[in-house]
Structure 1
Amino acid sequence: MRVNARLDEETGRKLSYLKRAVGRPASEIIRSAIDAYYNQLLKRGAKSAELLTGTGFVGCGEGDIDLSVSYKGAWLNEQHRKHGHR
């Protein structure tokens, strides 16, 4: 993919500095920066998922394979079993 980006003066200076410091073309520096940012976001997402599952906020359960469509009937049956018909 070809990208054409406009940089403000300060960001342009930073890019020029990086090109001189590492001796690499702008495209390579930008690719590396995108990879680093992408990996940072993936790690943050993994930490969020671990936090949710570790606290018990997200979990799993067992039930009938069609429970998502038959839950009302199952709930009513359980209520009748517990409390009888009222």
Structure 2
Amino acid sequence: MSTGTRMYINAYLDENCYHKLEYLIQTTQSNLSEVISEALYFYYERRIQTNRAEKLLQSGFVGCGEAEPTLSENYKSEWSDMMRKKHDNG
């Protein structure tokens, strides 16, 4: 974050949000700016992760492979069988 850039915010909060903000300030022993900055950081990170997951799902890459439904349970034996077949055919 750039140390030279600052923005002043004027916001109206309903009573519920106000009490949550006051609680965070008191319990974290932070000031208003620190709480808002951290809240924005977490909200931004959550949105970025959501967008990445959506893009991955939309890409068609997730779920594009085919395998037995029990693969997660018996992947080791499946791998061994596959390797055995590959090396037996030489």
* TM-score of the aligned structures, taking structure 2 as reference length: 0.57
2:25 to 2, 8, 19: 19
User: What number of residue pairs does the alignment pair up?
Assistant: 56
Query: What is the distance in 2 between the residues matched to 1:15 and 1:42?
Result: 24
Point out 4+ residue stretches in structure 1 off by more than 4 angstroms: none
Q: Taking every aligned residue pair, what percent have the same amino acid on both sides?
A: 32
- 2:12 is matched with 6
Alignment of 1:3-82 (within 5 A): 3-53=9-59, 54=61
Query: Which residue in 2 is equivalent to 1:75?
Result: none
* CA distance in structure 2 between the aligned counterparts of 1:14 and 1:48, rounded to whole angstroms: 30
Task: Report the 3-state secondary structure (helix = DSSP H, G, I; strand = E; otherwise coil) of the residue aligned with 1:43.
Answer: helix
Task: Give the C-alpha shift of residue 47 in structure 1.
Answer: 0.5
Deviation sequence 1:28-79 (CA, Å, 0-9, x none)? 10111111011101001100111122159xxxxxxxxxxxxxxxxxxxxxxx
**Aligned-pair RMSD on alpha carbons?**
1.5
When Rg is computed on C-alpha atoms for both structures, the one with the higher figure is 1
Structure 1: gaps of 5 or more residues = 57-86
In the alignment, structure 2 segments of 5+ residues that lack a partner are 1-6, 64-90
**Greater share of residues in helix:** 1
Calculate the TM-score normalised by the size of structure 1. 0.60
